[in-house]
Amino acid sequence: MSKKKAAKPAPKKAAAKKVAAKSQTMMTENRVFKPSAEFSKKARIGSMAEYRRMHEESLKHPEKFFGREAKELTWQKPFTKVLEWKCPNAKWFLGGKLNVSENCLDRHLVGVNKTKAALIWEGEPGEKRVLTYQQLHREVCRFANVLKRNKVKKGDRVMIYLPMIPEAAIAMLACTRIGAVHSVVFGGFSAESIKDRVLDCGAKIIITSDGGYRRGAVVPLKKNVDDALKSGETAVETVIVYRRTGQDVHIEEGRDVWWHRELEYVDAHCAAAVLDSESPLFILYTSGSTGKPKGILHSTAGYLLHAQMTCKYVFDLRDDDVYWCTADVGWVTGHTYMIYGPLSLGATSLMYEGAPNWPENDRFWRIIEEYAVTVFYTAPTAIRAFMKWGDEWLKKHDLSSLRLLGTVGEPINPEAWMWYHTQVGGGKCPIVDTWWQTETGGHMITPIPGATPTKPGTATLPFFGVDAAIVDDLGQEVGKDEQGKLVIRKPWPPMLRGIWGDKKRYQETYWSEFDGWYFAGDGARKDKDGYFWIIGRIDDVLNVAGHRLGTAEVESALVSHPSVAEAAVVGRPDEMKGQGVVCFVTVKEGIATSRDLADELKKHVRKVIGPVATPDEVRFAAALPKTRSGKIMRRLLKQIAAGEVIKGDTTTLEDLSVIAQLAASGED
Ligand code: 7RM
């Protein structure tokens, strides 16, 4: 592709708008880790030559490449055309009909997979459940009938707000069975967040549970749903409640029904709906650079194919693997890599309900030993926590079953990579550092474990069909080791199909920075081997412990408090969480600032958005530093938050005295 054009008028000095570098404490680790001959020999892709050949084919002849790969899905009606691309609208596998639940369940009921474990589950208090493919199929069919009984039709949105229990997978798969569109909301989000999302997607039904367990405490899920619906603004007519904890909950007559009661009215036969390749599959809300989260829309065939293909080539999943992805079902990683990918491939997926440090710091290692987990996929923030807790927790357990490790969510620092490699992987497991996003649906830049030599800290090379590049503001590719913006220059099968109800925002957010190319919002550089080093977000999105959080979201939560006049939120480097949330706040006339007010504001944000957004620090100031045109100078605030000496150009600053004041306003 020779087209390189910038949609916007060229900035006067291209170099002036340099991507901001994120300061990182990095050790230098120059070693290259090659997959062992033994691993490569057994792997589906065992050499770089093979990876390169396949990658080249996937870009040059996508019809041929994906047409062939897509044969691995079970089609109710074959597709007639692989791709239709009218930027920003992609259609993959046109004319095809298929059903996700049929691909994840029914087709495994012939042969030995029928009695194989589809899901292995452990509750935080210690209960264990195993659902074979046959059992999971039965539960999904029954629950799909419950949905039908409750008037859910094809295309209807179904909100799911459940803990990490098999019923989350059952509810999601049941939606796919009848062509309903699920929208899972992470259990760590608040009542207000639920309300915003229900209003945005227009769901008429919510599936929740009485509560869930987290670090020994009970999370009041049903109560949060009640609070979300209290104002009567939503269209929700039905709430299905699964009994998990047994705690007392309010049951609203005529609206709320019990999951187990509903099952009494249905049988276990439910034909899989015949659905179009582009039929909407799910909406998942994620943070962007405005106060309103975006409902990322994914569709059926391309998404499922990629989920399955990456489980096949990146995790190299086998019949006898016990695969564990630790992500919550409320995040895209839980969707693609705990449920859809492994199940469509007929693999065994482990699901654990609770916290890694409950009842003690070795819970994960206990689970790996007990179930003989072979492939383990987790986040750098978790790895850093394990490092901090100390090696003795691992030493108590036999982790020798592990053969492949993965990470996702944020850049992994080389120290954490090395520790993961030696302490968890015993020096013998390849690590796949997978870069991707809610929007991309699945892995985009990642090693292929039997082929790619890895280096600590880089996600290495693009997956099949992914035409990734690093460009400057004019869309020109930057040189080796130079930082720029990460773009994807061709449509790929599981790409988002839009933002729910907001065509304009979809176009503007992803496709307008560079005409015809997808702009990921991340800064990156490429090294001499063409490996991609992701630096992190360059928009106003934070990455706190692997969770995406918009600074504007936190700001709007802060200003919704009666004492707050204005707020600016920035990230600051955090050794454990990657980034911490620092809030700069000005209060209204007559309000006194105090430590109590700072605590109250932290609680307020927690209440409005959820525990994931809890600020690390609230700082008060008489004014926020602004440019003459009234823009908040975030660059300065970031430096203040990080405790750095203020550098750079402050000539456009309106009132220099505010800087001195802000720097001195630390909590202690
Ligand atoms: C899957 C997921 C997406 C953002 C993305 C990046 C960051 C994710 C990596 C990474 C460096 C990685 N979806 N990110 N994976 N950065 N290396 N391997 O995380 O939508 O919640 O977040 O996460 O900044 O843009 S997400």
CATH of residue 618's domain is 3.30.300.30
CA 406 vs CA 84, 118, 314, 364, 365: distances in Å: 33, 20, 9, 15, 15
645: pLDDT confidence band, cut at 50, 70 and 90?
low
Distance between CA atoms of 217 and 196, rounded to whole angstroms? 26
Cα 354 to ligand 1 centre (Å): 22
- What's residue 539's pLDDT? 86
DSSP string, 187-199: TTS-HHHHHHHHH
Cα 439 to ligand 1 centre (Å): 10
For residues 58 and 165, membership in a common domain is answered with no
Of 537, 565, 596, the residue at which a domain comes to its end is 537
For residues 359 and 411, membership in a common domain is answered with yes
**DSSP H or E run through 465:** none
Q: Whose CA is nearest to atom 11 of ligand 1?
A: 411
As beta bridge partners, residue 150 has: none
- What's residue 655's pLDDT? 59
Of residues 553, 544, 609, 552, the one with CA closest to residue 578 = 544
Cα 547 to ligand 1 centre (Å): 9
Mean pLDDT over 311-319 rounds to: 97
23 located within any domain: no
pLDDT digits (tens, 9 = 90+) for 147-178: 999 999 999 999 999 999 999 999 999 999 99
For residues 578 and 518, membership in a common domain is answered with no
Of residues 310, 534, 494, 543, the one with CA closest to residue 404 = 310
For residues 75 and 213, membership in a common domain is answered with no
Q: Whose CA is nearest to atom 4 of ligand 1?
A: 437
- What's residue 28's pLDDT? 67
Q: Whose CA is nearest to atom 22 of ligand 1?
A: 437
For 214: left if phi > 0, alpha if psi spans -120 to 50, otherwise beta; the answer is: beta
For residues 263 and 311, membership in a common domain is answered with no
For residues 433 and 512, membership in a common domain is answered with yes
The lowest-confidence range among 5-14, 89-98, 270-279, 444-453 is: 5-14
The size of the chain, in residues, is 668
| Residue carrying the six token digits 């050794």 | 575
CA 309 to chain centre: 18
Secondary structure class of 239 (helix, strand, coil): strand
| Residue carrying the six token digits 């890895």 | 454
Mean pLDDT over 87-94 rounds to: 98
The phi and psi torsions of 563 (rounded to 5 degrees) equal -85, -15
pLDDT over 90 at 291, yes or no: no
223 located within any domain: yes
Q: Could you tell me which residues come within 8 angstroms of residue 108 by beta carbon, excluding any fewer than 6 positions away?
A: 114, 116, 118, 133, 346
For residues 433 and 494, membership in a common domain is answered with yes
- What's residue 619's pLDDT? 93
Cα 443 to ligand 1 centre (Å): 10
29: pLDDT confidence band, cut at 50, 70 and 90?
confident
Q: Which of the given ranges, 13-27, 477-491, 552-566, has the highest pLDDT on average?
A: 477-491
15 located within any domain: no
2: pLDDT confidence band, cut at 50, 70 and 90?
very low
Mean pLDDT over 319-327 rounds to: 97
- What's residue 27's pLDDT? 60
192 located within any domain: yes
Cα 335 to ligand 1 centre (Å): 15
Mean pLDDT over 40-56 rounds to: 98
Quote the percentage of the chain above a pLDDT of 70.
92
According to the 3-state scheme, what is the secondary structure of 563-619? Answer: CEEEEEEEEEEECCCEEEEEEEEEECCCCCCCHHHHHHHHHHHHHHCCHHHCCCEEE
For residues 429 and 473, membership in a common domain is answered with yes
556 located within any domain: yes
For residues 75 and 180, membership in a common domain is answered with no
For residues 533 and 549, membership in a common domain is answered with no
Of residues 349, 329, 377, 338, the one with CA closest to residue 117 = 349
Cα 423 to ligand 1 centre (Å): 24
Of 220, 246, 272, the residue at which a domain comes to its end is 272
Strand locations in 287-413, DSSP E?
Answer: 294-299, 322-325, 348-352, 375-378, 404-407
Rounded to 10 degrees, the C-alpha dihedral 382/383/389/392 comes to 130
Distance between CA atoms of 621 and 624, rounded to whole angstroms? 7
37 located within any domain: no
Q: Whose CA is nearest to atom 5 of ligand 1?
A: 437
Rounded to 10 degrees, the C-alpha dihedral 138/143/147/153 comes to -30
**Count of C-beta atoms within a 10 Å radius of residue 141:** 23
Pocket residues for ligand 1 (CB within 6 Å)? 286, 332-333, 408-411, 433-438, 459, 520-522, 534, 536-537, 543, 548
Cα 410 to ligand 1 centre (Å): 5
pLDDT over 90 at 657, yes or no: no
In a mutational test of the pocket of ligand 1, which residue from 410, 431, 443, 532 has the highest number of ligand atoms less than 8 Å from its CB? 410
For residues 388 and 520, membership in a common domain is answered with yes
Of residues 441, 575, 415, 427, the one with CA closest to residue 497 = 441
Cα 471 to ligand 1 centre (Å): 19
Average pLDDT score over the chain: 92
pLDDT over 70 at 486, yes or no: yes
According to the 3-state scheme, what is the secondary structure of 487-529? Answer: EECCCCCCCCCEECCCHHHHHHHHHCCECCCEEEEEEEEECCC
For residues 647 and 604, membership in a common domain is answered with yes
Look at 23 and 526; give whichever has higher pLDDT.
526
Q: Whose CA is nearest to atom 17 of ligand 1?
A: 411
248 located within any domain: yes
- What's residue 644's pLDDT? 78
| Residue carrying the six token digits 């449509």 | 491
Residue ranges making up the domain that contains 562:
545-664
In a mutational test of the pocket of ligand 1, which residue from 184, 298, 435 has the highest number of ligand atoms less than 8 Å from its CB? 435
Cα 482 to ligand 1 centre (Å): 20
Atom of ligand 1 nearest to the CA of 446: 18
114 located within any domain: no
Mean pLDDT over 626-637 rounds to: 76
13: pLDDT confidence band, cut at 50, 70 and 90?
very low
Q: Whose CA is nearest to atom 26 of ligand 1?
A: 437
Residue 377 and residue 332 in contact, taking contact as beta carbons nearer than 8 Å: no
Assign residue 189 the CATH number of its domain.
Answer: 3.40.50.980
Distance between CA atoms of 349 and 371, rounded to whole angstroms? 11
Check residue 654 and report its DSSP letter: S
- What's residue 566's pLDDT? 87
Of 513, 537, 561, the residue at which a domain comes to its end is 537
Look at 105 and 553; give whichever has higher pLDDT.
105
Radius of gyration of the CA atoms of the chain, in A: 24
What is the number of structural domains in the chain?
3
In a mutational test of the pocket of ligand 1, which residue from 186, 285, 289, 543 has the highest number of ligand atoms less than 8 Å from its CB? 543
- What's residue 464's pLDDT? 98
Cα 192 to ligand 1 centre (Å): 25
pLDDT over 80 at 360, yes or no: yes
Assign residue 408 the CATH number of its domain.
Answer: 3.40.50.12780
Distance between CA atoms of 73 and 99, rounded to whole angstroms? 10
- What's residue 25's pLDDT? 44
Distance between CA atoms of 47 and 66, rounded to whole angstroms? 21
Mean pLDDT over 215-241 rounds to: 97
